[in-house]
Amino acid sequence: MDTSDYTAALARPATRVTSEDTDIQVAIEDRFSRWKVFLHPTQHKLARRDHRGPARVSGGPGTGKTIVALHRVAHLAERLPLGHTKQILLTTFNKNLAADLRKRLLELGGQAVVDRVEIVNIDKLATQIVAETGRTGQRRWIDDGKALREWEDMLAELGESQWDPEFLHAEWNQVILGQAINSRADYFRARRAGRGKRISRAQRAEIWQLAERFSMRLDEKGLWTHRQVAELAARIQSEQAMKIAAFEERQEREGAQMLQHLEQSWANLRYPYRHVVVDEAQDLSPAHWKLLRALVRADDNDIFLVGDTHQRIYDNYASLSSLGINIRGRSARLTLSYRTTRQILGAALGLLGEEEWDNLDDNTETLGGYRSLLKGPRPDMRGFDTWQGELDALAETVAAWQREDHERAAAAAEAAGGDGEEAEEQEQTSIGVAVPTRDMVGEVERRLAQEGIRAAGIGPEGPRLDDAVHVGTLHRFKGLEYRRMAVAGVAQGLVPGRHVEQHRDDTTRYQREVQRARSLVFVAATRARDTLTITWHGTPSPFLPGNAAPDDAPVDGALFSPGGALF
């Protein structure tokens, strides 16, 4: 039996590994932090394997995808000849995840590796590329909510009531910008897969006209959205890649003769990166992928991406093969969770229901075989009559957790003697509270403060304080990890949010929105390492399955079959 799976698991304070194998006694001596230098052989192979093109690693939450990506970066950096430029791009969806990647890469490879890698979130990278061309001017960013209001205002000003602003905004985002369409003729030919409602040719013409007007309106007002910039950056970079291809073709034809007459602008043509590594790949849009494709030459080990479509929480869908990124035959899946217990995995998987998930291409993805060797308490699931009642119970739970952790830390420090500080750090409290809305974040923070509990919100840049209970909306928990998690407000009307109901008549859209809402609560629940509580008030969310993992589930068996049953 391979004992390396247990190494990390055994160093966990509140969980037990469910095996009586005596080899584990040896592994017990190991430290949790050893993952930095030691990967499971499966992970190790994935991080170091040579690929003849783009490759992908998928896997459920906590299976070590990010760690594999980081080791991959370190491995690629070691193999590159020393140079002045950063030849590896490590990117992800948002800012705080990029900051976290930088921190973790520094721990893993030290400054020497970090210095050779460009670590930046994808929208910031797109903005930099556009800015370098001088095409930005004085612009203000607007988010999707504000862009939607601009659509509403524009349609009202035009006296146009036939079109739903929400529909037009999504069409502009997903079809026109999403596929980098810049002519009416191309829009007539565009694929609208997954957009639900069918539209006629005459309607396409109308939509195109309105979209053009809309984009002019934003220009005039000096506004733009991240999607617009991603699309523009993809276009700039694709033009550059085409120039490089033309240059190389000419070079091959004319050889040395051409080099003598080389113009300066041609001499500077090159791909900015040699390797691209992407974390949280499921959240990138088609324009992002187009941009990444154009940033690196199509070659061995060009693109390496890790992600889990079950954790997609933004409205971005991409079919990689249609975007020039062919991962067929170069996909692998991790199935062993190092983060969380079987009991928590069971409850979290129940939140996903029976939906079908894509594999970033035109096929489906499953979490079949996804498992954990860790055993802990069953997640606590409780309902209350009112939000106030739920808040009171939450404050009580968090206070009790802190007391328990404090006592355990003190006992561990005493038992460890000289090594007390490290033991105390291992046992340190680490609590997250996730709720569906921003208002609820404020209410939880205030309620915890009344109890004398130090709480801090999680902003776009990550948690505002380290040494506090972290409170945030479900969205903010992506990529984080806590010993104890409370997911509160999992009630009807909140999970999924009411806005989902407005898409009832559009089956495809409705299904996507429901799936995204399931993913959101799934992500929050799987941030928990040892303890999870899920609460609600009034009617429970329809996503709550009411069947946490049974305590006597088989030790090494999968908790979840593709059909969705727990056993």
Ligand X SMILES: Nc1ncnc2c1ncn2[C@@H]1O[C@H](COP(=O)(O)OP(=O)(O)OP(=O)(O)O)[C@@H](O)[C@H]1O
Residues that bind ligand X (CB under 6 A): 7-8, 35, 39-40, 43, 59, 61-67, 308, 311, 338-339, 479, 481, 526
For ligand X, the closer CB: 64 or 432: 64
Nearest to 525 by CA among 334, 355, 381, 409: 381
Exposure of 156 by Cβ count < 10 A (0-12 exposed, 13-18 middle, 19+ buried)?
exposed
Amino acid identity for residue 223 in this structure: L
| Residue 113 and residue 120 in contact, taking contact as beta carbons nearer than 8 Å | no
For ligand X, the closer CB: 4 or 561: 4
**59 annotated to bind ligand:** yes
Cα-flanking dihedrals φ and ψ of residue 421, to 5°? Answer: -65, -45
Shortest Å, Cβ 55 to ligand X:
16
For ligand X, the closer CB: 287 or 559: 559
For ligand X, the closer CB: 119 or 395: 119
**554 annotated to bind ligand:** no
Shortest Å, Cβ 503 to ligand X:
27
Shortest Å, Cβ 433 to ligand X:
18
For ligand X, the closer CB: 281 or 455: 281
The two three-digit tokens of residue 308, written as one number: 């889990």
For ligand X, the closer CB: 122 or 170: 122
The two three-digit tokens of residue 509, written as one number: 């859209």
β-pairing, 16-17 vs 374-375, is: antiparallel
Shortest Å, Cβ 425 to ligand X:
15
* 3-state SS class at 153: helix
**65 annotated to bind ligand:** yes
**353 annotated to bind ligand:** no
Q: Which residues pair with 223 in a beta bridge?
A: 140
**61 annotated to bind ligand:** yes
Q: Which residues pair with 482 in a beta bridge?
A: 528
Shortest Å, Cβ 342 to ligand X:
15
| Residue 365 and residue 357 in contact, taking contact as beta carbons nearer than 8 Å | yes
For ligand X, the closer CB: 34 or 328: 34
Count other C-beta atoms under 10 Å from residue 420's C-beta: 15
How far is residue 299 from each of residues 118, 294, 354, measured CA to CA in Å?
Answer: 19, 12, 38
Shortest Å, Cβ 39 to ligand X:
5
Shortest Å, Cβ 528 to ligand X:
11
Buried b (16+ CB within 10 A) or exposed e, 205-229: eebbebbeebeeebeeeebbbbbbb
- From CA 164, how far away is CA 156, in angstroms rounded? 11
Chain residue at closest Cβ approach to ligand X:
8
CA atoms in the 13 A half-sphere facing the CB of 171: 26
For ligand X, the closer CB: 151 or 482: 482
For ligand X, the closer CB: 229 or 549: 549
Shortest Å, Cβ 226 to ligand X:
22
- From CA 43, how far away is CA 75, in angstroms rounded? 13
- From CA 502, how far away is CA 455, in angstroms rounded? 35
Nearest to 511 by CA among 346, 284, 357, 280: 357
| Residue 174 and residue 318 in contact, taking contact as beta carbons nearer than 8 Å | no
β-pairing, 455-459 vs 462-463, is: antiparallel
- From CA 507, how far away is CA 510, in angstroms rounded? 5
Shortest Å, Cβ 297 to ligand X:
27
| Residue 12 and residue 530 in contact, taking contact as beta carbons nearer than 8 Å | yes
* 3-state SS class at 459: strand
For ligand X, the closer CB: 2 or 354: 2
For ligand X, the closer CB: 62 or 457: 62
**110 annotated to bind ligand:** no
Shortest Å, Cβ 308 to ligand X:
5
The two three-digit tokens of residue 361, written as one number: 């291409």
Which residue's entry shows tokens 């304070």? 13
Shortest Å, Cβ 4 to ligand X:
7
Nearest to 278 by CA among 219, 241, 232, 327: 327
Annotated binding site: 59-66
Q: Which residues are annotated as a binding site for ATP?
A: 59-66
